[in-house]
């Protein structure tokens, strides 16, 4: 059963193009929602990371000497400071219905 908040979020995105979930995940289980984007590509991921870059640096404790490595298989993602940032395969609607992660910029 969906909550009133979930129904309202689904209604707001009903007439918009599908957006795909990008998350930051750490092997220890921590995870954050980076954003939703219509572009499932490396440029789409890079733009999303740049959009919330300050929050990524703060929450993921990325240092000035840390390197970001890019990968395209099995999905588009990058790794830095032990974190993997990339597409989950879920749409925004899927995430709303099954439970959203905490937003990295919150």
- Residue 1 is predicted with a pLDDT of 86
pLDDT tens-place string over residues 5-50: 999 999 999 999 999 999 999 999 999 999 999 989 999 999 999 9
Distance CA 35, CA 37 (A): 6
pLDDT tens-place string over residues 51-86: 998 999 889 988 888 898 998 888 889 999 999 999
Distance CA 99, CA 10 (A): 12
pLDDT tens-place string over residues 93-103: 999 999 999 99
């Amino acid at each position: 059963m969906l909550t009133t908040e979930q129904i309202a979020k689904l209604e707001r995105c009903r007439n918009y193009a599908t957006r795909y979930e990008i998350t930051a995940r750490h092997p220890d289980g921590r995870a954050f929602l980076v954003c939703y984007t219509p572009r499932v590509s490396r440029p789409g991921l890079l733009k999303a990371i740049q959009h919330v870059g300050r929050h990524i640096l703060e929450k993921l404790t990325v240092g000035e000497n840390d390197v970001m490595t890019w990968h395209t298989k099995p999905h588009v993602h990058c790794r830095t400071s032990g974190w993997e940032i990339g597409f989950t395969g879920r749409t925004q609607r899927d995430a709303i219905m099954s439970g959203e992660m905490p937003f990295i910029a919150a």
